[in-house]
Amino acid sequence: MSRSTFALCCLIALTCTSPITAEPTGDTDDFIDARSDTWAQVALQIWDWAELGYKEERSSALLQQHLRDTTWST
């Protein structure tokens, strides 16, 4: 799987599973696009670390921090 495909898959998965704290005021595409740069960078960083399954400590910490920053509770 190419890096950009992986990043896109992660972005879609994270965007679709995150709770929406406020109703989007514009088009759905605009709502998703507003967060795409952030989640693309997160996905690429996780890909660069390439941690083994069940030992994904840095990846997990990075995702938790970004989710906390977007009002999720972890």
Expressed as residue numbers, the domain containing 32 is 3-69
- How does the average pLDDT of the chain come out, rounded? 76
Q: How many CB atoms lie within 10 A of CB 38?
A: 14
Quick one: pLDDT at residue 4?
Answer: 62
Higher pLDDT, 74 or 2: 2
User: What letter does residue 51 receive in the DSSP assignment?
Assistant: P
The total of structural domains in the chain comes to 1
How far, CA to CA in Å, does 39 sit from each of 31, 50?
Answer: 13, 17
Summarize the confidence of residues 41-67 as an average pLDDT: 89
Amino acid 33: pLDDT: 81
Residue 19: band (very low, low, confident or very high) from pLDDT cuts 50, 70, 90: low
Is-contact 45 74, C-beta < 8 A?
A: no
Q: Is residue 74 part of a domain?
A: no
Q: What percent of the chain has pLDDT over 90?
A: 16
Retrieve residue 54's tokens.
């069940």
Domain contains 24: yes
